[in-house]
Amino acid sequence: MSNIVAIVGRPNVGKSTFFNRLIQRREAIVDAVSGVTRDRHYGKSDWNGKEFSLIDTGGYVVGSDDIFEAEIDKQVELAIDEADAIIFMVDVETGVTGMDEDVANLLRKVKKPVFLVVNKVDNGKRAEDAVEFYSLGLGDYYTIASINGSGTGDLLDALVEALPEKEDEVIENELPRFAVVGRPNAGKSSFINALIGEDRYIVTDIAGTTRDSIDTKYNRFGFEFNLVDTAGIRRKSKVKEDLEFYSVMRSVRAIEHADVCLVVLDANRGFDGQVQNIFWLAERNRKGIVILVNKWDLVEKDHKSVKDYEKAIRKQIEPFTDVPIIFISALTKQRIFKAIETAVEVYKNRSKKIKTSKLNEILLPIIEHYPPPAYKGKFVKIKYIMQLPTPQPQFAFFCNLPQYVKDPYRRFLENKLREHFDFNGVPISVYMRKK
């Protein structure tokens, strides 16, 4: 379970560039136009062996400066609530602005570690200019240049030092956790109410570890698990429900704690950007996934509707297409128990362990038949396969030249694993190791 670090600050101070540097992938789009970061703002990073989740709060805001200010305040408040540490970024080129002062006012009251980071300091003159940021009343600051990474090492040393120790989530006999996630108004609460409504299997309601989300202990089909409702999380009066940032923040917490994520989407809105973000968030965290298309009773359909709809979703989740998609209606209770049954199957798939002898017996002949393509005249020989002892399915293929095995072949191996052993709904990791 990793800590959450939020990067806050006004637009254009370089939050996304810094974020990209830390997660080492160009995941957020970087551009000099305000409010450009529209897409992924969540990633995992680690420093000195300590892993943490990083949230870039930029770009959830659209509109003019005055709207910007109100929204940025909301984001900062949310970040203060949800994150374990906060990086407050300012820009040495523009100096202290009114908006920076507003953010600093909010952050001075916080009991969590706050790091004031002055960006774009790439020469001695600018380092001297940075002194004016003492006026924000947040104490010492760190100077960095996120474009080339200078200064980030010292900042990260201090950051991971300050992060609270997270107790490992391995609790004996802890029940599997199924999180119901999705964008606001997709019908998460109705789905849970429909399940629980007339259900006499409920054991107890317990306050969840997921910070105010409600865990419901649920028992059905002889299977007991905790149902985590992210919709039931207290709504802050200050946060509008439609704030995209809000649902992402909430989902991050729930997904990190879950074993299986039930991604609920509104059939009329389709598998849009925000639902995709939540889906990939679950996939990157290597969780089991079931996609629930809700409000299916309200869609005009013919005999091809289900097939076409499903095909469209699978196109968008390539290459991870081995995911169950179920069409439900929380209102009429159509297929809601099928949804839970499927989640239970996905959970079992995720914890499946395959005997080494069986893996080798089935896969080695296939590999012999279709070996990895030769690279620079060298032939890759895969000798031995085993499943690693991890909570989710990971496989090591031992061979003479692991560095020459490219992605397409890894995908081929993953597909063969899926073909012979049922991993429906579960991300698989394939590693090449030196024999």
Question: What residues form the annotated binding site for GTP?
Answer: 9-16, 56-60, 119-122, 182-189, 229-233, 294-297
- State the distance between the two ends of the chain, measured CA to CA, in whole angstroms: 31
Residue 419: count other Cβ atoms within 10 Å of its Cβ.
12
Annotated binding residues, written as ranges, equal 9-16, 56-60, 119-122, 182-189, 229-233, 294-297
Instruction: Output the DSSP codes for 121-182.
Output: --SHHHHHHGGGGGGGSS--EEE-BTTTTBTHHHHHHHHHHHSPPPPP---TTPPPEEEEE-
Instruction: Output the DSSP codes for 67-119.
Output: HHHHHHHHHHHHHHHH-SEEEEEEETTT-S-HHHHHHHHHHHT-SS-EEEEEE
What strands, in cross-sheet order, belong to the sheet with 382-387? 382-387, 394-399, 429-434
Nearest to 83 by CA among 171, 192, 198, 164: 164
Q: Is 432 helix (H, G, I), strand (E, B) or coil?
A: strand
The C-alpha torsion from 254 through 255 and 259 to 263, rounded to 10°, is 100
Q: Is 343 helix (H, G, I), strand (E, B) or coil?
A: helix
What residues pair up with 399 in beta bridges, in sequence order? 382, 434
Nearest to 92 by CA among 37, 53, 150: 150
Q: 140: which residues sit within 8 A by CB, 6+ positions away?
A: 116
Token representation of residue 384: 């031995």
**In a 10 Å sphere around its CB, with 0-12 CB exposed, 13-18 middle and 19+ buried, how is residue 432 labelled?**
buried
